[in-house]
Structure 1
Amino acid sequence: MSNQNKNELFHRYYKRWILMYKEGAIRPVTMSKYRMTLKWLIKLSPNLKVGELNRITYQQLLNDYAEEHERQTTMDFHHQLKGAILDAVDDNLIDRNPTRKAIIKGKTPREKKPKYLNQFELHKLLTQLDLAAEVNWDWFILLIAKTGIRFSEALALTPGDFDFSHQMLTINKTWDYKGKGGFLPTKNPSSVRKMQIDWQTVMQFSELIKELPEGKPIFVHGKDNIYNSTINNLLAKHCRKNELPIISIHGLRHTHASLLLFAGVSIASVARRLGHASMTTTQKTYLHIIQELENQDVDLVMRSLSSLS
């Protein structure tokens, strides 16, 4: 990076830093988060210079951001700034690392909406779907509930991704619904996967898509924009009609994973099915379910041991 000096405004340094090190190296959706961090940096500290960054000025920046954001969002803001700041330290533009021992604050989180349905609720939802003879968004809802795939992965599915004779579904691409459309790579290499699908889904989809072109998306037609909110609103309408907790399409993914975990499927298998980069991601996301299962395991262990006497 050129023109580096301690008197440069920090937001200008940060803008050059993300263009140099992040542009083209990360997914556009992640890049947009760095750009949003830049906007907040300009808003909160427009006159802060690189050389003025110390533990006090940095903590003040975090505190100002935390006044309008929850703690987790403030943590993300901190991590997106930290990389640039550590590089400035390495380049001797800042004497000491100002991010060391930073305190992350934030507004009290809003009451969490339900993330997933239980087995009874999901069954009630699926039996009320309008599964017409031709492809519609209710088929889309059913498929995500049965597979746990991501919204963008489901949009990118083509008839050629189904191997009905082996009850397999291949996930190897996503659909650029936030941009101009078209196929994109998966979120990470681990997201490229083959997954087993149940015989009922095989029977339903083999009939539904038998006349559709092999290499074209099943759920995307023409050049119409597809919005996540449109499908979420449809799902919410179904939930209200059936007096169920209102969840999002992503909540169907959580529902799928939670049902597998409660059924005794291993974390490793669930992680592979969801396309997580590591089991750590799965463990963090479903920690509450894993803890509940561990409590059940303790009861099972105690019953087993007591029966030995």
Structure 2
Amino acid sequence: MASIYKRGKTWTANVSIIQNDKRIRKTKSGFPTKREAQTWSNDIEFKKQTKQLSTSNSLFVEEFKDWYTIFKEPQIQTATKLWYHTAINLLQDKWSDKKVNEITSKDFQLLLNEYGNHHVKSSVLKIKNLIGMFVVYAIDDDMIQKDFTRNVTTSSKVSSKDKSLKFLELSEMRKLINRIRDNDSISCKMILTSIYSGLRFSEVAALTKDDFDFQNNTITVNKSWQMQDKAFKETKTSTSNRVVIMPESYMSIAKKWTFGEDYAFQGKDGLPISNNGVNKQLKAYLDMDNSTPITFHGLRHTHASYLLSKDIAIQYVSERLGHADVNITLRVYAHLLDKKRDQETKETLSSLNEL
């Protein structure tokens, strides 16, 4: 007999079934209407009566690998594939003999706790989310009866890297520009391009000579460089495809550059310079002036921070950076905007006091 009840704003249904000679409850929640919950429970009852209900006892790691190979691998990029392989290696190491229908919340919590002893919290959360996506699939496919990931938490004994937003102050940015503007090295050209455009490293590395329009002073961004695959890929989001208007001061310098045949910033091996290679050069130049140590991505933050400090509308800054929406820009640069808000509050009160 099915049991259907409302939990919050959605409906939950559970059905009593026999599995491995034991009576258990197969439960599913999140139905928007009672009718949908009833339809699901009727389907389970029918499968139970006709002996179609799965009593899978296959290995968890093997089912996870099959799911990844069929549903995920064809659609994702190499960097994401590495995370799935990390999860598979973890499951093979810790759960090699566990059946797909016998995992409990306790098992999963212990797995994440142990993983968190040697990895930062963001990595633990990534593993949790990947396994969680598989569990949703496995429940829908009747391999698993209950979502054992629901009440599990993530923690870590390894400190994360400093996530504070690092960027160059105006004086530091000017020193860097003066040091590299006449330098003909590929790294310097890439650094200068990012300072003036706010492009991501993958976008700068993917530029070709045809992306530079010196008549209209623009750079077209319509692809990104995937270092792992050594190939062009789509940009991060559809809004990352954009035409960035560049200042004359930059374009007059870039006009003198000799670009590579396949890539604008092409190394001796015929490929774009690596992120690590450019970061080493950037560090060396920043050290010369005792400037704030930043990575190449910090140049993007420097670009945005400079524009915001000059009262450029955040909507325009968001479009220039290629963010999916302005809320991302607001979130990333919240502390800068808060600082500016404090300044504007003082100016507002000063103006009102003059009345």
TM-score by length of 2: 0.76
Q: In structure 2, how many angstroms separate the alpha carbons of the residues matched to 1:10 and 1:293?
A: 52
Please tell me whether the aligned partners of residues 240 and 246 of structure 1 are also in contact (alpha carbons under 8 angstroms).
yes
The reply on whether 1:277 has 2:327 as its aligned counterpart is no
Q: Which residue of 327, 330, 341 corresponds with 1:294?
A: 341
Q: In structure 1, how many angstroms separate the alpha carbons of the residues matched to 2:89 and 2:270?
A: 31
Task: Between the two structures, name the one with larger relative contact order (CA 8 Å, sep ≥ 6).
Answer: 1
- How far off its partner does 1:185 sit? 2.3
Structure 1: which 5+ runs fail to align?
none
The reply on whether 1:303 has 2:354 as its aligned counterpart is no
Q: Pick the structure with more helix per residue.
A: 1
The structure-2 alpha-carbon separation of the partners of 1:279 and 1:13, relative to structure 1 and needing over 3 Å to count, comes to farther
Q: In structure 2, how many angstroms separate the alpha carbons of the residues matched to 1:284 and 1:98?
A: 32
1:166 counterpart SS class: coil
The reply on whether 1:259 has 2:310 as its aligned counterpart is no
Q: Which residue of 235, 239, 253 corresponds with 1:204?
A: 253
Q: In structure 1, how many angstroms separate the alpha carbons of the residues matched to 2:158 and 2:350?
A: 41
Q: Deviations over 1:184-206 (max 9, x none)?
A: 32222211101111110111112
Q: Deviations over 1:125-151 (max 9, x none)?
A: 22112623x453211111111111111
Please tell me whether the aligned partners of residues 167 and 301 of structure 2 are also in contact (alpha carbons under 8 angstroms).
yes
Q: Percent identity over the alignment? A: 29
Tell me the equivalent position of 2:41: none
Q: In structure 2, how many angstroms separate the alpha carbons of the residues matched to 1:89 and 1:296?
A: 53
Tell me the equivalent position of 1:187: 236
Q: In structure 2, how many angstroms separate the alpha carbons of the residues matched to 1:201 and 1:169?
A: 11
- How far off its partner does 1:304 sit? 4.0
The reply on whether 1:125 has 2:171 as its aligned counterpart is no
> One-letter code of the match for 1:203?
S
Matches within 5 A, 1:8-47: 8-47=58-97
> One-letter code of the match for 1:218?
A
Q: Deviations over 1:98-147 (max 9, x none)?
A: 12132121235346276221222111122112623x45321111111111
The structure-2 alpha-carbon separation of the partners of 1:30 and 1:271, relative to structure 1 and needing over 3 Å to count, comes to farther
The structure-2 alpha-carbon separation of the partners of 1:105 and 1:290, relative to structure 1 and needing over 3 Å to count, comes to farther
Q: Deviations over 1:185-228 (max 9, x none)?
A: 2222211101111110111112324xx57x63221145445321
Tell me the equivalent position of 1:216: 262
Q: Pick the structure with more strand per residue.
A: 2
The structure-2 alpha-carbon separation of the partners of 1:130 and 1:145, relative to structure 1 and needing over 3 Å to count, comes to closer
Matches within 5 A, 1:36-75: 36-75=86-125
Runs of 4+ aligned residues of structure 1 deviating over 6 Å after TM superposition are: none
The structure-2 alpha-carbon separation of the partners of 1:35 and 1:303, relative to structure 1 and needing over 3 Å to count, comes to farther
> One-letter code of the match for 2:280?
N
Please tell me whether the aligned partners of residues 194 and 200 of structure 2 are also in contact (alpha carbons under 8 angstroms).
yes
Q: Which moved more, 1:40-49 or 1:183-192?
A: 40-49
Q: In structure 2, how many angstroms separate the alpha carbons of the residues matched to 1:41 and 1:293?
A: 48
Structure 2: which 5+ runs fail to align?
1-53
- How far off its partner does 1:281 sit? 2.9
Q: In structure 1, how many angstroms separate the alpha carbons of the residues matched to 2:93 and 2:315?
A: 43
Q: Which moved more, 1:53-62 or 1:148-157?
A: 53-62
Q: Which moved more, 1:145-154 or 1:66-75?
A: 66-75
The reply on whether 1:236 has 2:283 as its aligned counterpart is yes
Q: Which moved more, 1:49-58 or 1:193-202?
A: 49-58
Q: In structure 2, how many angstroms separate the alpha carbons of the residues matched to 1:89 and 1:104?
A: 22
The structure-2 alpha-carbon separation of the partners of 1:203 and 1:40, relative to structure 1 and needing over 3 Å to count, comes to same
Please tell me whether the aligned partners of residues 44 and 65 of structure 1 are also in contact (alpha carbons under 8 angstroms).
no
Please tell me whether the aligned partners of residues 44 and 64 of structure 1 are also in contact (alpha carbons under 8 angstroms).
no
The structure-2 alpha-carbon separation of the partners of 1:136 and 1:23, relative to structure 1 and needing over 3 Å to count, comes to same
> One-letter code of the match for 1:243?
N
Matches within 5 A, 1:1-12: 6-12=56-62
Tell me the equivalent position of 2:221: 171
Q: In structure 1, how many angstroms separate the alpha carbons of the residues matched to 2:137 and 2:311?
A: 46
Q: Which moved more, 1:28-37 or 1:192-201?
A: 28-37
